[in-house]
Amino acid sequence: MTRATNVDGWRIEIVIREGVRRVLTRADVGRVVGAALRAAGAPPEASLSVILTDDEELTELNETHLGHDGPTDVLSFPLLPPGAFPPHVGREGTSAPPLTFALPPGSRTHLGDIAISVERAAAQAADGRGGQTGDRHWSTEQELRLLLTHGVLHICGWDHAEPVEEAAMRALERELLGFVPD
């Protein structure tokens, strides 16, 4: 089932695949996504899609788009280059002038799509493999909030391939989620 919500001018399309456990309300998903978009300096009046699905779909996406076997918890498919967003620690000086597109009246710039396996989030939380380090014991709701935040930051040009940027990304995730690591 697909429904859209508006948060601070952003249009967030939320797709929940049939049979997928509803862990957060659509309003909660919108609040988490909106907070991450705001923190990352996403352009106003843009749109983003969030697909809440299962391991089977994430396995297929992971293999097709990244060449990795098996499921993963979250995949982000950004449509804008990292330079379209404000610079941040680990990506200083990479900002470009705001992108402008010739769009039909009333259209929004689409930032990209995030796919999350709710099944994987629940398993990670239940097994104590949640959080950024894979050793956090917390609820499925908390794990899903982290994955939403993480996915949005990737859409907005953040990465964790380099240690400096990873530390900054993890710190921003902790701040947005309101917790201090163990």
pTM score, whole prediction: 0.89
Mean of the per-residue pLDDT values of the chain? 87
pLDDT digits (tens, 9 = 90+) for 73-89: 999 999 998 888 888 87
Domain contains 51: yes
Q: Which residues form the domain of 45?
A: 2-98+105-177
Domain contains 74: yes
pLDDT digits (tens, 9 = 90+) for 128-163: 877 766 676 789 999 999 999 999 999 999 998 888
Domain contains 182: no
- Count how many domains the chain has: 1
CATH number at residue 162: 3.40.390.30
Domain contains 65: yes
DSSP letters, 117-167, are: EHHHHHHHHHTT-BTTTT-B---HHHHHHHHHHHHHHHHTT---SSHHHHH
Domain contains 60: yes
